[in-house]
Amino acid sequence: MTVEILSKPAPVASVDRDWWRGAVIYQIYPRSFADSNGDGVGDLPGVTAHLDYVASLGVDAIWLSPFFTSPMRDFGYDVSDYQDVDPIFGTLADFDRLVEKAHALGLKVIIDQVFSHTSDEHAWFKESRRDRTNPKADWYVWADAKPDGSPPSNWQSVFGGPSWTWDARRRQYYLHNFLSAQPDLNVHNPQVQDALVATSRFWLERGVDGFRFDAINFAMHDQALTDNPPILSGEGKRNRPFDFQHHFHNQSHADIPAFLSRLRALGEAAGGRFMVAEVGGEQAESEMKLYTHGDDRLHSAYGFLYLYADTLSGELFRQGAAMWPGGAGEGWPSWTFSNHDAPRAVSRWAQGRDLKAFADMCLLLLVCLRGNVFIYQGEELGLPQAEVPYERLQDPEAIANWPETLGRDGARTPLPWTATGVQAGFSAVEPWLPIDPVHIELAVDRQERDPASTLNLTRRVVALRKQLPGLKAGAMAFVEAPAPLMAFTRGEGDDQVLCAFNLGFETVDWAPPPGWRILESVNLEDAGRVPPTGGLIAVKT
């Protein structure tokens, strides 16, 4: 075999502090996981009641999307109290019970920290906007209007329109990279940093095992408020004014890594808690590397390489592997194909191929990648993107850009637990988003009984990743194979594993070379042939 080395082996990890290296982490979107009190919205007791199911997948940890006090303009990513649970999700006591049960089941608990912005209903912002001299006057990003009354810079918000909103109390504009109801914190201010560090300490003391830092590259801005340059190439679809600019000045400030080092030090003092960054945008590759470099920044980072990809190709995965070659001081990657912010991968990538077969291949492929693996709730069931009619949309981005984008609602619909139960076993009443009839056919109870289900495949391949050291944390090297077959090895020596996947639409004549034995496969029928959506893991004989 011709081998192209793209990464080095991971260093030997300690059992305790480095549990996360190569871990499989299950993302739970609490609003849509399980409703315990019959109000149509999932909650923390609903999560706790189903943790045995999550543990049965064999995953190492759960990541909980925000459950903090919030007016829910952006469904929890607009926090009005960092240190409490929104009543719609339960109480702090409910959270404590969730952590206790998760730990009893051997599951680590990771939670979101949304540190680039708050809700406009947060007490900090209410005080900050009161006048220009109050103690929190400089806790948010305020700026005077230009002489003609227009905003201080040309910066555009992710959700459409200028990222500045006028406030009559202060007679100034405030910055919001997202909704106008999500004012940006001035994380340049040491007092703000202290308050955010205190927030993380609060949750560490309640027993969480790590944090995902949401949109962390938006945490600091260019204080000179320099205009962003336009994108002149005209390439790509532009649905929002945000898409017309290079975002060099409203985000990605050079001081962000120093703040991340403060957070890492906090986690280390608490016994080495895991920290992962979400980093999007055109500079994501360099920023992910910057935010995880060395031993004093975050452990890992993930971007949107796969989340926003419209098609699946070998070149895409070569690009992903090349981003993290394993150099000195390099951090550790994390990967996800689906989450609450992107249309489900099965719908984006199948392109007419059988959805069940495609979902199975995607799961096998995901657990074969070098790095941590995030599985989004429902991915273990092979759920496609749900159909949500316009009148039921909740996502402000989807509503604003209808019908040009799929939006996020179709990836956030309730998890189907029982095929014949009321509201698919999610709730006793109509849920906050409708359940797609296609999802009901893929309900947990039906898949539990089917040995060939995507659910049971998930359990097998997650267990396989734990059993094979090369698959969990080994090096990755691509192997010469006839297109559209993609083949690569993980690990070295006796621990080496061979992985192959047909990402195309035609059958490829290929088989593992002599000396290899297929250990797990999906959608294979004939020896020596790999059909579309076919995939395999082989070990040395």
CB-based contact 45:10 (threshold 8 Å): no
Q: 13 by DSSP, 3-state: which?
A: coil
Amino acid (one-letter) located at 27: Q
Rounded to the nearest 10 degrees, the angle between the axes of helix 284-291 and helix 256-269 is 40
Residue position matching structure tokens 């120093």: 258
Q: Does the active-site annotation cover 268?
A: yes
Q: Please tell me whether the peptide bond between 71 and the residue prior to it is cis, using omega within 30 degrees of 0.
A: no
The residue annotated as part of the active site, out of 39, 81, 227, 268, is 268
Question: What is 200-263 written as a DSSP string?
Answer: HHHHHHTT--EEEETTGGGS---TT-PPPPB--S--S---SGGGGB--SSSS--TTHHHHHHHH
Q: 347 by DSSP, 3-state: which?
A: helix
CB atoms under 10 Å from CB of 119, counted, come to 27
Q: What is the DSSP letter of 140?
A: B
Amino acid (one-letter) located at 268: E
The residue annotated as part of the active site, out of 214, 287, 409, 520, is 214
β partners of residue 540: 516
Residue position matching structure tokens 């192997």: 479
Among the listed residues 361, 370, 369, the one whose alpha carbon sits nearest the alpha carbon of residue 535: 361
Q: What is the dihedral of CA 129, 135, 140, 141, to 10 degrees?
A: 90
Question: Cα–Cα distance between 28 and 377 in angstroms, integer?
Answer: 6
What six digits make up the tokens of 371? 């790095």
Q: Does the active-site annotation cover 214?
A: yes
Question: Cα–Cα distance between 370 and 21 in angstroms, integer?
Answer: 10
Question: Cα–Cα distance between 457 and 51 in angstroms, integer?
Answer: 19
Question: Cα–Cα distance between 282 and 305 in angstroms, integer?
Answer: 10
Which residues are catalytic, by number?
A: 214, 268
